[in-house]
A = this chain, B = another copy of it.
Amino acid sequence: MVSKIEHNQRTSCPIACGLDVIGDHWSLLIVRDMLYLGRHEFSEFVSGEEGISTNILSDRLQKLKAQGIIDEVTHPHSKRRKLYFLTPKGRDLIHVLMAIGEWSLIHMPENAKMADKIESLLGGTKEEFVANVLRELDEWEAQYVIGAAPREAAHSAL
């Protein structure tokens, strides 16, 4: 697979294509931060407990933006701060993250435990959980992202 820098697909396989974009250790953790943990700023990602270093974070944010997975606006209170948020394409990664989380909880229960923040969102069914997460994002975006209309899930195919 080699360099994710160039984002040149090696194969037309959907799985290989997807992995070329999100198949590294940090990208999906950043998406997780935005999706589940309410993080939106550079400093919030840095202070996550996995300890990403600033050069890698900077690099990944750039690549995720280039791929249309995230976007950014300047913080309303300060021009030197940025607020990152998921595009519809990025939001749809929730299904990938759910699958990974579910797999870990089932097959590595001794290691994996749910964060309190996430557990509190667990209302009932998986669908309700997804809806809760996306609604939270909508509310946040309505407040911070200018001109952001409530988004609808793109999901339907396959």
Residue numbers of A with Cβ under 8 A of B are 1, 9-26, 28-29, 32, 49-51, 68, 89, 92-93, 95-108, 111-115, 126, 154-155, 157-158
Contact = CB atoms under 8 A, between A and B. Distances in A.
A20 B113 CA distance: 14
B19 A126 contact: no
Contacts of A17: 104, 108, 111-112
A80 to B, nearest CB: 29
B100 A18 contact: yes
Contact of A112 (B13, B28, B114): B13
A25 B1 contact: yes
A158 B102 contact: yes
Contact of A18 (B18, B108, B126): B108
